Amino acid sequence: MSTHSDPRQPEFHFDCVFHYVSHMDLAIRFYRDILGFKLISRDVVARFDIDGVLFELVPAPAKAACSLRETRDSACAWKMSSRR
């Protein structure tokens, strides 16, 4: 149930979070064994499900990033274009 009250404003939700790590096996053990995240798959990246949000460990020398899913596309497009 959403508590979002203004239908003109976009409602954003996290869809996926990427975290780039230098030691994949160590990172998997930390997130799975220490934090208790559920590992759902592993190939080049490791994927965890955290309350419906996809959390991926990616081998690369970078920082974290995220992607957002918007439930009202036209409101999102208007909001993004109005920031230019």
User: Does the predicted TM-score (pTM) go above 0.75?
Assistant: no
d(CA 24, CA 60): 10
Q: Is 7 left (phi over 0), alpha (psi -120 to 50) or beta?
A: alpha
Domain 12-81: homologous superfamily in CATH: 2,3-Dihydroxybiphenyl 1,2-Dioxygenase, domain 1 (3.10.180.10)
pLDDT 10s digits, 34-65: 999 999 999 999 999 988 889 999 987 645 55
More confident position, 71 or 45: 45
Q: Which amino acid makes up residue 14?
A: F
**Per-residue pLDDT, 77:** 46
d(CA 23, CA 15): 24
